Chains A and B, each alone.
Chain A
Amino acid sequence: MKLGSYLVPRVLCLVAALLPLALRAQERRRELPASMRTAFGESAREPTKSTVQILCDGHSAAMGAIVRPDGYIVTKASELRGKIECQLSFESGKHEAKLVAQDNATDLAVLRINKRGLPAVQWATGEVPSVGSWLITPGLHREPITVGVVSVAVRRLPPNGALGIGLANDNAEITEVREGLAAAQAGLRVGDIIRRFAEEDIQGSEHLRKTICWHYPGDKVKIVIERNGRMQTVEATLSSLTEVRPRDERSEFQNALGGALSDRRTGFPLAIQHDSVLRPYDCGGPVVDLEGQVVGLNIARAGRVESYALPASTVRDVVDKMLRTELISAPATENAGKRAANKSQER
């Protein structure tokens, strides 16, 4: 029985043992008292109307937010697969949805359902909530899915590209090459010193590490290495840090204690980190502050203690960009729809 795991990264192996009964009896995350759930539900009442549940092939896959009255919904792109349906908060029955656009940097997707007169979400225009602020994640019902507080001020998150190498402490000399990953595939060897990475001169191993993690997995990069005193250029297709992680077993193990994580959980242009416990299928919907302002959109459960929300301004900008393209390319159907709506009113 595995119970109790020390919270420091280091190699240690101890024999597992039992916890006293008194502790085992307490192994639930405490539910908020009814008075609190009601109060938070009150705050999130308006945004709840704009909240959508996304089902893929009949299973809960994500949450979403209505962004236009004429059926456009934003959600988390990487959770979508198969037949997509949307469940609204104010009516029963599901609407089949079509994937309209998607943005890789933010992992946002826009869906469209065939329905009009929907309550679109009002994105907050004020400041991003500071550390210690309440954040409410509404669901389809009166009480929210979960609440938490802002853990870390808004920041950029690296996309965590990786080469799969070990480095010396000071200069960027390769001490280890992991099989099957980017560096091995590009023919890098132990002893090679990395001098340039993606057009950037490299000053030591720390600099290289920082540079690599700001590139996306799958990016093709030119690397200049020094091998036996001679410069050589190779091209590598970056792996993801999560592929490198298997050796980080304890950290992975600990982060998975308490539930599954989102598959896509790094590399967002801006994110608010909060301590709400989300399941991967709770991501993609609005995040609301205590005053009922929609301050962001949950985009990932990244760890036992890490949930990420994109700030409202980022979501609004990306959605606007995606919709501009969509609305320009489909004006005819838009007008046809309006005409049909007018006709039905005339009758």
Chain B
Amino acid sequence: MRRNGSVWSSCLAGFGLAIVLALSPASTLWAADVPDAVKTGTTAAANTQAISQSLRKVFDGAPISGIADLRSMQGHMQKIAESLRKYTVGVQVGNAWGSGVIISKDGYVLTAAHVAGEPNRNCTFTLSDGREVKGKTLGLYRTTDAGLMKITDAGDYAHAELAPSVKEDQWCLSLGHPGGYQSDRGSVLRLGHVLWVGSDAITTDCTLVGGDSGGPLFDMEGRVIGINSRIGEKLSTNMHVPVSVFQHPEDWQRMMKGRAWGRMPNEEPGWLGVKRDESAKEAKIAGFSEKSPAERQGLMVGDVILELDERAVSDFEGLSRAVKDCAVNESVVLKIRRGDKIVQPHIRLEKRP
């Protein structure tokens, strides 16, 4: 049953976007207070116990040797389908419908940034048994379309683990609520392959459609590898936010604090035009690119950039990431150590020539 605001409500307009591939944010360091939820599971979950070596190879994309492999694959899918449905929730924020996946006992929910919209909004989750629980939207990282929510009604929620890695060619399962939550249907399972893995996006041939946003992409052991985000014209253009985006400790902290940041994925990333000082650990400027907006706006060789818009920058990679989360023409405040002084200039980012 559709539960839209009116019989034909939810005006829907198609729009396009671009994905820009940033430097890899991969990091295995964890801040002390990162909850277990976003740490990759090390304990063997119920779903992983019964998997034989040969089946694991099939799941990783090895050619199947015959009907016996298909049978064991099927037996496994039938067995885990029910748990995967339990982890998957319907989400309503305002009059938008999407999906999400519970990743901790106390009800943290990963979703898409464009489902949450803004931090600190009230939202309603519909669990797989039809029960509705209240919640709040937390942070969102718009560049990657990663969003975080939390169920605020106390409870002990069935939750998924996060996968330690994702590889091209592996099989995967996606769930979500196409067209919004429907009580007589529940979430919808799809099987596919991981076609391409980038640091900010994964594409699969698990066919998605409106309403699937924020829903989980699982590996065959039922661990989350991505969050459903957007589709293209072809059946194979189904894009997901990799869980590694959520696992970056600084970004996770920001999301927990309910911060929203990043540019819209269709906006071009801004450009500062500074060159790295290879000998420095910190984000120290060794020189400028041609037509550098930083140089024109007063930055100097030897400057060490400590913060961008109050976001701590510990090294040059951190600076690159922070700059790429801003749009062309966006004005940012830098915190710079220049000699023994701290300066805080406003710099307007430009389009990379």
Task: Tell me if B135 counts as interface (CB < 8 A to partner A).
Answer: no
Stretch at the interface among B72-80, B277-285, B296-304: B72-80
* A258→B231 CA distance, assembly (Å): 10
Contact bitstring B31-63, A, C-beta under 8 A = 1, else 0: 000000000000000000000000000000001
Q: Are B209 and A9 in contact (CB under 8 A)?
A: no
Contact bitstring B201-224, A, C-beta under 8 A = 1, else 0: 101011111111110000000000
Q: Are B70 and A36 in contact (CB under 8 A)?
A: yes
Interface residues of B in 144-190 (CB under 8 A from A): 176, 178-180, 184-186, 188-190
Please indicate the chain B residues that have their CB under 8 angstroms from the CB of A11 in the complex: 11-13
* A20→B185 CA distance, assembly (Å): 36
Please indicate the chain A residues that have their CB under 8 angstroms from the CB of B211 in the complex: 7-9
Please indicate the chain B residues that have their CB under 8 angstroms from the CB of A254 in the complex: 12, 14, 209-210, 231
A10 closest partner in B (C-beta): B96
Task: Tell me if B30 counts as interface (CB < 8 A to partner A).
Answer: no
Q: Are B71 and A290 in contact (CB under 8 A)?
A: yes
Stretch at the interface among B15-23, B324-332, B344-352: B15-23
Task: Tell me if B289 counts as interface (CB < 8 A to partner A).
Answer: no
Interface of B: prevailing SS: loop
Q: Are B21 and A20 in contact (CB under 8 A)?
A: yes
- Which interface residue of B21, B82, B208 has the most chain A CB atoms within 10 A? B208
Task: Tell me if B29 counts as interface (CB < 8 A to partner A).
Answer: no
* A149→B84 CA distance, assembly (Å): 15
Task: Tell me if A347 counts as interface (CB < 8 A to partner B).
Answer: no
Q: Are B16 and A305 in contact (CB under 8 A)?
A: no
Please indicate the chain B residues that have their CB under 8 angstroms from the CB of A244 in the complex: 7-8
Task: Tell me if B26 counts as interface (CB < 8 A to partner A).
Answer: no
Interface residues of A in 122-152 (CB under 8 A from B): 130-134, 148-152
A163 closest partner in B (C-beta): B7
Partner of A2, one of B11, B14, B80, B195: B14
Q: Are B19 and A19 in contact (CB under 8 A)?
A: yes
Q: Are A22 and B77 in contact (CB under 8 A)?
A: no
A258-B234, A290-B67 known; A10-B95 Cβ under 8 A: yes
Task: Tell me if A343 counts as interface (CB < 8 A to partner B).
Answer: no
Please indicate the chain A residues that have their CB under 8 angstroms from the CB of B191 in the complex: 148-149, 275
Stretch at the interface among B118-126, B235-243, B246-254, B308-316: B235-243
Q: Are A133 and B207 in contact (CB under 8 A)?
A: no
Q: Are B12 and A10 in contact (CB under 8 A)?
A: yes
Please indicate the chain A residues that have their CB under 8 angstroms from the CB of B97 in the complex: 8-9
* A9→B180 CA distance, assembly (Å): 8
Task: Tell me if A115 counts as interface (CB < 8 A to partner B).
Answer: no
Interchain nearest-CB distance for B218 vs A (Å)? 12
Partner of A23, one of B3, B64, B214, B237: B237
A42 closest partner in B (C-beta): B67
Task: Tell me if A330 counts as interface (CB < 8 A to partner B).
Answer: no
Q: Are B1 and A251 in contact (CB under 8 A)?
A: no
Q: Are A28 and B234 in contact (CB under 8 A)?
A: yes
Please indicate the chain B residues that have their CB under 8 angstroms from the CB of A16 in the complex: 15-17, 266
Interchain nearest-CB distance for A160 vs B (Å)? 9
Q: Which residues of B contact A (CB under 8 A)?
A: 1-21, 63-67, 69-71, 73-74, 77-82, 85, 94-98, 112, 114-115, 176, 178-180, 184-186, 188-193, 195-196, 198, 201, 203, 205-214, 228-237, 239, 264-266
Q: Which 8 A-B pairs have the closest CB atoms?
A: A250-B12, A16-B16, A132-B77, A7-B213, A17-B18, A166-B6, A27-B234, A258-B235
A-B contact pairs, 27 of them (CB 8 A): A4-B18, A6-B230, A7-B98, A8-B115, A9-B210, A12-B13, A14-B17, A16-B17, A20-B18, A23-B203, A23-B232, A26-B196, A30-B192, A35-B64, A43-B70, A131-B189, A151-B190, A166-B7, A167-B7, A249-B11, A250-B14, A250-B210, A254-B12, A257-B235, A273-B185, A304-B235, A305-B188
Give me 5 other A-B pairs in contact (C-beta within 8 A), A5-B210, A257-B231, A290-B67 excluded. A7-B98, A257-B232, A257-B235, A275-B207, A290-B74
